[in-house]
Structure 1
Amino acid sequence: MKTLFKTAILFLTLSFISCEDVIDVDVQTAPSRLTVEASLDWEKGTTGNEQTIKLSMSTPFFDTTTNTAVTGASVKVTNDSNGTEFVFTDQGNGEYSTSSFVPVIDQSYTLEIQHDGETYSATETMMSVTDITEINQSREDGFDDEALEVNIFFTDPEEEDNYYLFRFQEQGDLLPDFEDLDDEFVNGNEIPWYYEKDDDDDTEEFVPGDVIDIALYGISEDYYNYIRILIEQSGGVDLFGTIPVALKGNCINPTNPDNYAHGYFRLTQVVRASYEFE
C-alpha cells in the first residue's frame, strides 16, 4: 500500500511538472514617434525671454535604450500677429533654447519643428494667471482630518472662462503632483484650494519643517482638456473604469497626419511660491 501511495504521489508530481510550459506572449509595439516637451511658461515678475523645448523619440515599453534625445532638428516659434520668429538653438542634448522670446498675454503663437524630413506644427495662445493671495496650513480640509495640508487662495477673474493647473512638489520628492480646475462653478469668486499627501500612494504625511513648492498656471481650454485626461490616466489602473484612450497632443504633421508627434505645445503664465509647514 505504501509503495502504491508513493507511486501515485510521484505520478502527480511529474504531471504538474510537465504542465509548466513556457508561454510566449506577443507584446504590441507602437511606431517610434517624435516626443515634444514644449512648455513655454512665463513666470510673473520675469521677462520670460529664456525658454527651452525638449525633443526625444518614444521607445517600446520594454526597450532599454536610455539616450533618446533628438538633435539636429530645426525649431522655431512664431508670433502669429506680427510674424516675429524666435529660433530655438540646438544644445546637442535634445534641448533647444532661446533667450529672446517675447511673451504676450492672449497672443497666438505657432511652433514649427523640422526633423528627419518631416514637419510638425502646433498653435497655442499665451494665457494669463491670477495671483496667489494667501498660503496657510490646516488639518481640517483634506480627506484625513489628522493630516497636514497646505491651502492656497486666489481670486478668479470675472466674466471670463479660466482654466488652471496646479503643481505641488515637496522638496526632496522625486516627482510632483498635478491637479486641474475649471472655473465654471466658481467664476469671479475667491477660490481656496488644498493639497495633502495621499496615503494610497504610500507617501508620508507632511510634518512641521517640510517645504512644498507650489505653481499655479493659467492654461487654455484645449490644454485643460488634454491635461485632465492625462492626470486621470496617470492615477493608476481602475479595473472598473473605462479603457484609457490614446492621448494625442496638438503637435500635428500637416503632410503626413499619421506620423503625428507625442506631447503638447503650451504657453502659460505662472506664479510660484514655497511654503514651510509649522
Structure 2
Amino acid sequence: MRHYLLYIVIFSFLVSCEDVIEVETPSEAPRLSVDALLRINEEEPITKAIIKVSETSSFFKENTPIKVSEMTITNLDQQNTTTNPNQIIFTLIEPGVYEAIKRTTFFTEGRLQLSIKYNNQTYTANTSYVPAVPITNLEQGNGTLFEGNETEIILTFVDEDNRDDFYLFDFDFNEYLVSEDEFYQGQPFKFSYFYNDDVKAGMHVNVSILGVNEDFFNYMNLLIIQSGGAQGPFQTPVATVKGNIINTNNNGSLDTTENTNNFALGYFAVCQTYSSSLTIE
C-alpha cells in the first residue's frame, strides 16, 4: 500500500508541478510558555529546581527562549525568617533556563506559589506536592503490537490503598502516559508499554512514575491525545491547552474560569518521582 501511495504522489507532482498549495496553519499571538514540572526525590535533602521559559512563535518554528524580570516560588504555609526565608529566587543559568536550590522539605510541605514577571505582566500558579509510589520492577518483554517490530517494556508498581492516586509515566524520548488508580487501588499493577522501531538494541531507557493531582492528570491526558503521544507537557500543542499559570495583572484572580484567555502555556506541578532504567536488548 505504501508503494502505491508513493506512485500516486509522484505522478500528481509531475502533472501539476506548477500548482501552488496553500496550507492554513493555526495562528495566535505569542504566549509565554513555561516548563515548571518539578520532580522531587525525597531521599535527597537538597532539591535543584529548574524551570524553562520561552515564547511561542509560528506553528512550524521552535519556541524562543526568553529572559524574565523575576521568577520566584513562595511556600505560603512556611514561616518567613531571616535564616530560612519562605521564598526562593530563580537565577538565569542559560537562555530560557532558570535554577534555584532549596531544602527538599520546602517543596514537600505546604502550598507553593510560582510567580513570573515578564513584559510588565505577572503570571502566577498555585500547587502542592503530590506523592507517588516506587517502580517495583521494570523489564523488557517480547510482545509486539501491529507492525511486529515494536519493543515492549513491562512496568510493575504497587498502588497505595489509603488515597486516590493519579500518575504520570515518563517513558523517555518525550513519550508520556497517564493513569488513575480507580480500578487497581491498593493493588499491584503491571502493564506493558510499546516503543516503535526507533528504539533499538543497546539504547538506554529511563522510565519515571510521577504523582500528579487530578487537574494535572486531565491536562496531560488532553495534551497526549492532541499530540498523538509524541509531545511533552510544555511543548506548543496542536490547539491551545490551558494550564494553571494565569496572568493576574487584570483582576489578580487565579480562577481559570474567569481568566479565559489570560494564561501562559504549560503547568506548574511539584511531583514525587521514582525512576528506573534498563538497556534494550
TM-based fold match above 0.5: yes
Q: 1:78 aligns with which of 74, 77, 83?
A: 74
Offset from partner CA, 1:180-220 (integer Å, 9 cap, x none): 1111111110011222223xxxx24654x443111111111
Q: Which has the larger radius of gyration?
A: 1
Contact 1:43 1:272 in 2 (8 A): no
Find the aligned partners of 1:112 and 1:52 in 2 and give their Cα distance.
14
Cα shift at 1:223: 0.5
| Structure 1, unaligned runs of 5 or more | 1-15, 170-174, 237-243
**Structure 1 counterpart of 2:276:** 273
Counterparts of 1:170-189 in structure 2, within 5 Å, are 175-189=173-187
Find the aligned partners of 1:28 and 1:176 in 2 and give their Cα distance.
23
Q: 2:51 aligns with which of 21, 39, 53?
A: 53
Q: 1:100 aligns with which of 95, 99, 102?
A: 102
Q: 2:140 aligns with which of 133, 137, 148?
A: 137
Alignment pair present for 1:215 and 2:208: yes
Alignment pair present for 1:110 and 2:113: yes
Q: 1:255 aligns with which of 237, 249, 263?
A: 249
Q: Which moved more, 1:76-85 or 1:222-231?
A: 76-85
**Structure 2 counterpart of 1:159:** 162
Name the SS for the 1:154 alignment partner: strand
Cα shift at 1:53: 0.9
Check 1:133–1:251 CA distance in 2 against 1; reply closer, same or farther (3 A cut): same
Count of paired positions: 243
Query: TM-score, normalising length from structure 2?
Result: 0.76
Name the SS for the 1:110 alignment partner: strand
The code of the aligned residue for 1:76 comes to T
Find the aligned partners of 2:140 and 2:22 in 1 and give their Cα distance.
53
Q: Which moved more, 1:244-253 or 1:28-37?
A: 244-253
Check 1:92–1:111 CA distance in 2 against 1; reply closer, same or farther (3 A cut): same
Contact 1:70 1:94 in 2 (8 A): yes
Cα shift at 1:43: 2.4
Alignment pair present for 1:68 and 2:64: yes
Contact 1:151 1:192 in 2 (8 A): yes
Q: 2:40 aligns with which of 35, 39, 42?
A: 42
Q: Which moved more, 1:176-185 or 1:23-32?
A: 23-32
Offset from partner CA, 1:40-96 (integer Å, 9 cap, x none): 111243235211111111111145xx6722114200001121251111113351112
Find the aligned partners of 2:199 and 2:59 in 1 and give their Cα distance.
32
Name the SS for the 1:191 alignment partner: strand
Check 1:216–1:23 CA distance in 2 against 1; reply closer, same or farther (3 A cut): closer
Cα shift at 1:101: 5.0
Q: 2:126 aligns with which of 117, 123, 130?
A: 123
Contact 1:42 1:48 in 2 (8 A): no
Contact 2:54 2:96 in 1 (8 A): yes
Find the aligned partners of 2:120 and 2:54 in 1 and give their Cα distance.
16
Q: Which moved more, 1:225-234 or 1:46-55?
A: 46-55
The code of the aligned residue for 1:68 comes to T
Check 1:154–1:23 CA distance in 2 against 1; reply closer, same or farther (3 A cut): closer
Query: TM-score, normalising length from structure 1?
Result: 0.77
Find the aligned partners of 1:29 and 1:118 in 2 and give their Cα distance.
22
Name the SS for the 1:246 alignment partner: coil
Check 1:149–1:24 CA distance in 2 against 1; reply closer, same or farther (3 A cut): closer
Contact 1:106 1:127 in 2 (8 A): no
Name the SS for the 2:189 alignment partner: strand
Name the SS for the 2:208 alignment partner: strand
The code of the aligned residue for 2:66 comes to V
**Structure 2 counterpart of 1:233:** 226
Contact 1:125 1:267 in 2 (8 A): yes
Offset from partner CA, 1:93-114 (integer Å, 9 cap, x none): 1112111253443632110111
Check 1:28–1:128 CA distance in 2 against 1; reply closer, same or farther (3 A cut): closer
